[in-house]
Amino acid sequence: MNTANQSIKPITTKINDKGHIEIGGCDTVELAEKYGTPLYVYDEETIRTMARQYKEAFKDYPKVSMLYASKAFMTKAVVRILDEEGFGFDLVSGGEIYTAHTAGADMKKCLFNGNNKSYDELEMAINVGIGLISVDNFLELALLDNAAKAAGKSVDILLRVTPGIECHTHEYIQTGHLDSKFGFDLTQVDEAVELIKDEHKNLNLVGLHAHIGSQIFETQIYYDEVDVLLKEMARIKEKFGINLTHINLGGGLGIKYTDSDCPPSVYEIAEKILTSIKDNAKKYNMQEPEIHIEPGRSIIGTSGVTLYTAGSSKQVPKGRKYVAVDGGMADNPRPSLYQAVYTADVANKANLEPEEKVTIAGRFCESGDILINEISLPELEEGDILCFYNTGAYGYSMSSNYNRVLKPAAVLVNNSQSDIIIDRESYEHLVSLDVIPDRIKKA
Catalytic positions: 365
Q: Are 263 and 254 in contact (CB under 8 A)?
A: yes
**Which helix (DSSP H) or strand (DSSP E) does residue 307 occupy?**
strand 304-315
β-pairing, 304-315 vs 39-43, is antiparallel
Distance CA 364, CA 127 (A): 42
Contact, 416 vs 25, CB < 8 A? yes
* Maximum distance among all Cα pairs of the chain, rounded to whole angstroms: 78
Chain-centre distance of CA 184, in angstroms?
23
CB 163 within 8 A of CB 175: no
183 sits in the region (left: phi over 0; alpha: psi -120 to 50; else beta) called left
Instruction: Tell me if the bond preceding 38 is cis, omega within 30° of 0.
Output: yes
Closest CA to 423 of 166, 152, 76, 167: 76
Give the number of residues written for the chain. 443
Helix axes 189-198, 220-240, angle to 10 degrees: 50
